[in-house]
Amino acid sequence: MGDGYFLKASMGQVGSFKIVAIDWEHPNYGYFTDAMIWYNSPHTMKWNPISIANWTEKYKKVDEFLKEFPELKGFF
């Protein structure tokens, strides 16, 4: 992410839900913590965000998110 910030993702499945958890590392803290969750299911038919960190609130569509973080495309 730049300036000592790092992003990582992990993917899992719970029932029919696919979930991608996004964690970020703040340079002052030195550990990864929750940033946001993306979920998809057969009924939603698209990825939907749940924002946790305030900087993630601007992402309403997965395409917007992946435009800034294309290295995470394989998780979706």
> What pLDDT, on the 0 to 100 scale, is given for residue 1?
54
What number is the average pLDDT over the span 57-73? 95
DSSP alpha helix (H) spans, 13-74? 62-68
Q: For the sheet containing 6-14, what is the strand order?
A: 6-14, 17-25, 32-40, 48-51
What are the domain boundaries of the chain?
Answer: 6-69
> What pLDDT, on the 0 to 100 scale, is given for residue 4?
67
pLDDT in tens, 31-51: 788 999 999 999 998 999 999
pLDDT in tens, 6-22: 889 999 999 999 999 99
